[in-house]
Structures are given as structure tokens and as C-alpha cells.
Structure 1
Amino acid sequence: MSFKDIPSLASKVAIVTGANSGIGLVTARELAKHDCHVILACRSRERAEPVVKALESEITNTTGKVEFMQLDMMSLKSIKQFVDEFKAKNLPLHILVNNAGIMAVPFQLSVDGIESQFATNHVGVMALTTSLLPLLESSAPARIVCVSSAAHKWAPESGIDFENINNEANYSKYTAYGQSKVATILFTRELHRQLRERGITNIHVNAVHPGVVQTNLFREQPWIIRKLLSLFQRSEDNGAKTQLYCATSEDIVKNDWSGRYFEPIAKLSESSAISQDMELAKKLWTFTEELIAKST
């Protein structure tokens, strides 16, 4: 997959979360370069606004547009505010890239009292996506891309340890990361199932593993681990290609690939057996729905 393969996205609107750095920034840049109106949904205005200015200077020869909107994926209040503000713009929505995430951080609870990795990488993604779903449906054909990881295989044997999500005494930052990323895949599969059950066939939702990429996602890791990872990390440009493929390629529609898992670069793949357990996916959906309702 090459950036040249991305079709014209004129009149399309996209939201990319965590788009001020790393593969999120590359994703936003390439969508805008192909004439898309891109919302960079980021936590820090201070870090995002210079990025928007830099991108504007890169897309002068296109009809693309970039703008910043504030969004903290660890706060359900922030997600609701973002959705309300986006709806107030009266724009359609054709592409949602759930790119923002955190990895293997020390134990912390979100403002809503949810373990931070589960809150950011799963609960926030479900809250944002389901809130924007009516807009995606009315704007369809549409794409939803959820960034997972091969590290979803680090999840506990049960996939999701529902009883201990917020239990600091039981916390392993790597297991919690794996759990949050298996949740991403389960959410993707269940959303696909629900859409098709309602007869909606023109929204394609997929999960992707971008690869081990040279980004600040690994900032919490010990120096020696960062050094070892650097030996086989792929560039940010190559890291973004799989999610760009799922967000834009005609192959997705032609093959009706939805509820699937992709790995670098742009390859349809199989995720772990537990991440394909649809009973677990339904249980997680109900659990998360209740968690969101209780926290808002």
C-alpha cells in the first residue's frame, strides 16, 4: 500500500483522534492531502495547534482542510462535549479513525474512576463511536477504524477480567494493555454484527495492528526496552498505512471486509481466538454500556 493509492476524498469529512503526533498525524496529513476535511481530535490545544498550522502549509495544493477540536479520550464528559460541538458544525462524517491510545502505563484511574488504559483504549472509543454513529449512518458510505495491537494477545486468558479492571492490587500494566486492545477488537466485531443485524451494509468497521512503530507510545518503557524496540520499529509513515488502507481503500467495500482484523501493511489477518468470541463481545458491550451510563 502506497499513499498514492488513496483515492480522492473531496467532500469527505474525517475525525482522527490523537492526531497531533505519530501515526495519527500521518493519517490526518494523508487524508487532508487527498482533499479530505480532517478534524484533529486531540487532548492538548498547545501541542495540536502548531501541528494544524504545519499541515495547512503542506496542503495548499489540495482542497483538503484541517482543524483542531479538543478531545480527552480518558474523560466521558470531554467526549460528550466533543460530540456536541462536532454536531453543531452541521458537517457529515465519513471516516472515524480511533487512533488515540496509551500503552503500559502505571496504574491510574480516569476522572470517571476507570483504569486508565481500559478507559482510553476501549471505553472512550465505544462512547465516542456510538455517539457519532447516527452521523456516520446518515453520511454513509462510511468507515470506522479502531487501532488495536498484536499485544491484544497479552490479555488475560479470559480476555476481559471484568471483576478486576479497577483493582490496583491485581494490576499488571502489560496485561491491562493487552486487555484494552482485545476489547478494541471485540468492540469492532460486535459493532459490525449490530450494524448488519440492522441491515446497515454501507458502514465498514475494522480493527488494525499498525506494527511496532517509532512513536512516543513507548515513552513509559525502560530505556533498554526502547533501545531494543528501535532495532525493528517501522517508520510512522509505514505505521499509518494499514489504518489509512482500512479508512480509504476500495478493497474494503469490494470485498465487504468489516468486523475484521488487519496487520502491517494492509494485510487481512486473524486475531486471537478469544478476540473472536462473540458471546464475550456481547458481554463486553453490555458491561461497557452500563459503565458509560453510570459514569455520565
Structure 2
Amino acid sequence: MHSALYSQTSDGLSENMTTNYLSPFLFTNTLLPLMTTTSRLPDADVRIVNLTSVVHARPKNPRFDSLEALNASFGDDGMTLYGKLHRLGYTKLATMLYSKELQKRLDADNVPIIVTSPHPGTFLTARKYSFAAEGCNTVVGRFPGGSILIFLMRYLLPPVSQSGDASVFAAASPEVRKRAGEFKGAYLMPVGKITPSSADAQNPQLARELWETSEKQLAALGL
């Protein structure tokens, strides 16, 4: 999810960060005791799939050590393509760091849950159409022929009917359990390809920092 405008919830949290990261963090951690118990049953195969994006690599010098850091707007409260992509990338980086740290903690407790972070791919959804159209108007449209980009995308991008394939692979493919050691904490490109993530997404200090800040902010809300 990428908002047209930077905005905050009534609790003073970034809408983007709340929707893309903090809510899944709270939801998953709340269910974790049940998932842990289930994972130890005979023939169990419990997995956690946190969707991310290639734009996780966009933010530079990220911080997750305070509420102010989580609420970063990247100097843009408006509707520019730059601001949208960086805010989206920031939340997806948080998602990947959370997945890595969660997998690390599960492994330390010998819990056989597999956590993955797949990038679903790029599809021309209705929302993506308007997002891409904006890009044409602000950047590509300045060049000769730029206005035909959307027309070409309709034929070059995969159909929306395939948009769930990456998630289904991560959640249900027998290959993931068969090669659990390789897939645990992995970043996956479509479909099911283990791929190196950005250096920041592999930073254990950032991951711990994010986890601690997330718990602190949710506790302050009584959650």
C-alpha cells in the first residue's frame, strides 16, 4: 500500500508504516504462540509469508530507533513519485528486517517455522495504472513517445491473474519445506527464486532496533 499523501493515524503513527508493517508485526506476534504449538505437531508445516518489494532497497541510511524514524516522510508530504516510492520502500525494508529477526528468534528456540519475504512481481493493477500514469506525466512524459508507456505496459507486464503466484509458492510449495535451511528468512523474487536483498535488509543491528522500537510503540498504545 502506498498512500497518495503522507498521513498519520489518530495515534500519531505513519499510515504507510502502520498498514504495511506494524499491523502485520502485531498480528503475527499475537498468533505466534499458537503457530509455535502447531508447528510441533506431527507432519506440521507452518510458514509465515511477509510480502515485500524490490523498492526495499531505495531508502538510504535508514533508522528505526524511534517513533520519529518510523514516521519518516522523506521530506515529502505530497504526491510526488519520489516520496511514494521511498515511503513504500521504507515499510518494505522494515518488513524484511522483521522477517529476518523473527526467523533468527524462531531458530534459536528450535521452532520449525519458515519465514519468507517474497516480492510478488509487477502487475498493471488499477492502482498501479494510476501510479504509472502519474510517472508518465511527471518524468517519462517529458521525452518523445513517453505517453505510450502505459500502452506498452499492458502488453509487457504479466496478467494480474498471476499476481498471487509468488505468495502461493512461499506458503504452500513442498520445495520450501524440502529446502527449509535455504528458504528460512529468504528474500524471494518471482517465482520462488532465493535472491540477495539489500545490505540494509541484512543488517542485524537494524533488525533488533526495529523490533525494540516496534514493541515500545505498541506497548505505549496498550497493545
Indicate whether the TM-score tops 0.5.
yes
**Map of 1:55-204 to 2, 5 A cutoff?**
102-140=1-39, 141-158=45-62, 160=64, 162=66, 163-166=68-71, 170-171=75-76, 172-201=83-112, 203-204=113-114
The structure whose Rg is larger is 2
Structure whose residues are more often helix by fraction: 2
Aligned residues: CA RMSD: 2.2
Contact 1:238 1:265 in 2 (8 A): no
Deviation of residue 219 (structure 1)? 6.2
Contact 1:154 1:177 in 2 (8 A): no
Contact 2:64 2:209 in 1 (8 A): no
| CA–CA distance in structure 2, aligned partners of residues 194 and 168 of structure 1 | 30
**Map of 1:8-23 to 2, 5 A cutoff?**
none
Q: TM-score, normalised by structure 2?
A: 0.78
Contact 2:125 2:160 in 1 (8 A): yes
Deviation of residue 165 (structure 1)? 3.5
1:237 matches 2:157 = no
| 4+ runs deviating over 6 angstroms | none
Identity of aligned residues (%): 26
| CA–CA distance in structure 1, aligned partners of residues 105 and 154 of structure 2 | 40
| CA–CA distance in structure 2, aligned partners of residues 169 and 185 of structure 1 | 19
Q: CA, structure 1 residues 224+106, in 2 after alignment: closer, same or farther (shift >3 Å)?
A: closer
**2:12 partner SS:** coil
| CA–CA distance in structure 2, aligned partners of residues 188 and 180 of structure 1 | 12
Q: CA, structure 1 residues 103+169, in 2 after alignment: closer, same or farther (shift >3 Å)?
A: closer
Which residue among 263, 276, 286 is the counterpart of 2:202? 276
Of the structure 1 ranges 127-136 and 106-115, higher mean CA displacement relative to structure 2 is found in 106-115
Q: CA, structure 1 residues 179+168, in 2 after alignment: closer, same or farther (shift >3 Å)?
A: closer
**Map of 1:15-54 to 2, 5 A cutoff?**
none
Deviation of residue 220 (structure 1)? 5.7
Deviation of residue 173 (structure 1)? 2.6
Segments of structure 1 that go 5 or more residues without pairing to the other structure are: 1-101
- Give the aligned length: 194
**1:103 partner SS:** coil
Q: CA, structure 1 residues 289+232, in 2 after alignment: closer, same or farther (shift >3 Å)?
A: farther
Of the structure 1 ranges 250-259 and 184-193, higher mean CA displacement relative to structure 2 is found in 250-259
| CA–CA distance in structure 1, aligned partners of residues 115 and 20 of structure 2 | 16
| CA–CA distance in structure 1, aligned partners of residues 178 and 71 of structure 2 | 42
Contact 1:210 1:242 in 2 (8 A): yes
Deviation of residue 234 (structure 1)? 2.0
Deviation of residue 231 (structure 1)? 5.0
Segments of structure 2 that go 5 or more residues without pairing to the other structure are: 40-44, 77-82, 137-149
Contact 2:65 2:210 in 1 (8 A): no
Of the structure 1 ranges 232-241 and 163-172, higher mean CA displacement relative to structure 2 is found in 163-172
Contact 1:164 1:170 in 2 (8 A): no
1:205 matches 2:115 = yes
Q: CA, structure 1 residues 189+169, in 2 after alignment: closer, same or farther (shift >3 Å)?
A: closer
Amino acid at match of 1:116: E
Q: TM-score, normalised by structure 1?
A: 0.60
The structure with higher relative contact order (CA 8 Å, sep 6+) is 2
